[in-house]
Amino acid sequence: MGPGPSRPRGTRFDNGVDEMSDKTSNQSVFRTSRLEEADGDGLNPTSNRTMGEIIAARFSRRGFLRGSLAATAIAATVSPMALMTAGKAKAQTAKFSFTEVEAGVDATHHVAEGYDADILLRWGDAVFADSPDFDPANQTPEAQARQFGYNNDYVGFIPIDGSSEHGMLVVNHEYTNEHLMFPGIVTVVDGKVEVAPADRKRVDIEMAAHGGTIVEIRKDGGKWQVVRDGARNRRITSTTEMELTGPAAGHDRLKTSADATGTKVLGTINNCAGGVTPWGTYIMAEENFHGYFIGELPEGHPEAENYKRYGVPDGSYAWGNFHERFDVSKEPNEPNRFGWVVEVDVADPNSVPKKRTALGRFKHEGAESIVNKDGRVVFYLGDDERFDYVYKFVTAGTYDENDRAANMNLLDEGTLYVAKFEEAGTVTWMPLVHGEGPLTAENGFASQADVVIETRRAADLLGATPMDRPEDIEPHGDGRVYVMLTNNTRRKEANAANPRVDNAFGHIIEINEEGGDFASTEGRWEILLKCGDPSVAEVGATFSTETTRNGWFGMPDNCAVDSDGRLWVSTDGNSPKATGRTDGLWAVETEGERPTSKLFFRVPIGAEMCGPLPTPDLTTFFVAVQHPADGGDDWEGFGRPSYYEDLSTRWPDFRDDMPVRPAVVAITRQGGGKIGV
d(CA 191, CA 110): 32
Please report which confidence band the pLDDT of residue 21 belongs to, taking 50, 70 and 90 as the band edges: very low
Question: CA nearest 496: which of 186, 14, 204, 64?
Answer: 64
**Does the pLDDT at position 12 exceed 50?**
no
Lowest pLDDT segment from 27-31, 650-654, 661-665:
27-31
Please report which confidence band the pLDDT of residue 193 belongs to, taking 50, 70 and 90 as the band edges: confident
Q: Show the DSSP H helices in 364-446 as ranges.
A: 404-407
**Does the pLDDT at position 31 exceed 80?**
no
Q: How many CB atoms lie within 10 A of CB 66?
A: 8
Mean pLDDT of the region 490-513: 72
Q: For the whole prediction, is pTM greater than 0.85?
A: yes
pLDDT at 430: 98
Does residue 13 sit within a domain?
A: no
Distance of CA 639 to the CA centre of its chain: 29
d(CA 620, CA 667): 6
Does residue 41 sit within a domain?
A: no
pLDDT at 74: 33
**Does the pLDDT at position 607 exceed 70?**
yes
pLDDT tens for 199-227 read: 999 999 999 999 999 999 999 999 999 99
pLDDT at 280: 98
Structural domains of the chain, count: 1
Please report which confidence band the pLDDT of residue 29 belongs to, taking 50, 70 and 90 as the band edges: low
What 8-state DSSP symbol labels residue 128? S
Mean of per-residue pLDDT scores for the chain? 88
pLDDT at 57: 57
pLDDT at 10: 27
Please report which confidence band the pLDDT of residue 500 belongs to, taking 50, 70 and 90 as the band edges: low
pLDDT tens for 128-140 read: 999 999 999 999 9
Does residue 277 sit within a domain?
A: yes
Mean pLDDT of the region 521-544: 93
Question: CA nearest 122: which of 557, 604, 625?
Answer: 625
- Quick check: 675 and 666 in contact, CB under 8 A? no
| 59 sits in which H/E element | helix 51-61
Residues 76-90 as b/e (b if ≥16 CB within 10 A, e otherwise) read bbbbebbeebbeebe
Strands (E), 147-257: 152-159, 166-173, 186-189, 192-195, 211-220, 223-227, 234-236, 241-245
Lowest pLDDT segment from 36-40, 425-429, 480-484, 500-504:
36-40
| β-strand pairing of 241-245 with 354-356 | parallel
Q: In what order do the strands lie in the sheet with 354-356?
A: 264-266, 241-245, 354-356, 341-344, 282-286, 271-276
Does residue 5 sit within a domain?
A: no
d(CA 209, CA 144): 6
Does residue 24 sit within a domain?
A: no
pLDDT at 56: 55
Q: What SS3 state is found at 563?
A: coil
Residues 6+ apart with CB under 8 A from 492: 501, 502
CA distances from 377 to 246, 259, 342, 491 (A): 16, 32, 16, 35
Lowest pLDDT segment from 35-49, 174-188, 541-555:
35-49
pLDDT tens for 261-293 read: 999 999 999 999 999 999 999 999 999 999 999
pLDDT at 54: 60
Q: How many CB atoms lie within 10 A of CB 410?
A: 25
d(CA 268, CA 500): 37
Residues 171-188 as b/e (b if ≥16 CB within 10 A, e otherwise) read bbbbbbbbbbbbeebbee
What 8-state DSSP symbol labels residue 126? B
| Residue with the larger pLDDT of the pair 70 and 180 | 180
Does residue 645 sit within a domain?
A: yes
**Does the pLDDT at position 159 exceed 90?**
yes
Whole-number percent of the chain with pLDDT over 70 = 86
Domain range enclosing 212: 51-397+414-492+499-669
Residues 617-648 as b/e (b if ≥16 CB within 10 A, e otherwise) read ebbbbbbbbbbbbbbbbbbeebeebbbbeebb
The residue type found at 139 is: Q
